[in-house]
Chains A and B, each alone.
Chain A
């Protein structure tokens, strides 16, 4: 059973606009959430994370929002750049060493 879900397999955004990637989870015990970016033929690269005691974390163009009551997190990329085109995975953890991944959203930023 998939505990972390990304319901949008793909997303296209114009360069300079905001990209919003969404992720839902089912396990209320998850307390640490992460976003990874993956290019073809490479491993996932860590982007940004948030612990359950916060509802927002920002790092440059990337902001992650956490809504614990809705069991929902989102990644905002502003402004989007063509180099952001990749597959984005969200992940969640409740023990610190067991991570569950979503199925990924393929982002295309159109120049």
Chain B
């Protein structure tokens, strides 16, 4: 069982819809991440939150809006997406108090934009 929980597992949305992806961890990790992964490609970093503050935004389009309500939760709000945004969206967390701490991933949300 993964210690990073993502919901929903699957999501189909139209280009005019607004939806949110949710991620939760209870490992006490203070860094949380959103990655996007397309088929046969490596995970691509989208956002990093460190101590609940956005520290890295990899030039992600504004139709993706991250939110970190508290140290355990991470959301990704989606609006006016394009079909090419269809992908597996992975949440991850890691410690910030220890140097060289690995990422722990959730099982992802498979997003299809129609």
User: Which residues of chain A have a CB within 8 Å of any CB of chain B?
Assistant: 4, 31-32, 34, 36, 41-46, 49, 51, 89, 91, 93, 96-104
Contacts and interface: CB of A to CB of B under 8 A. Distances in A.
Contacts of A45: 2, 105
Q: Is the interface of A mostly helix, strand, loop or mixed?
A: strand
Given A98-B45, A101-B42, A103-B42, A43 B31 contact: no
A52 B96 CA distance: 19
Nearest to A39: B107
Nearest to A38: B105
A88 to B, nearest CB: 12
A73 B40 CA distance: 21
B4 A49 contact: no
Interface in B94-113: 94, 96, 99-108
Nearest to A87: B40
A105 to B, nearest CB: 11
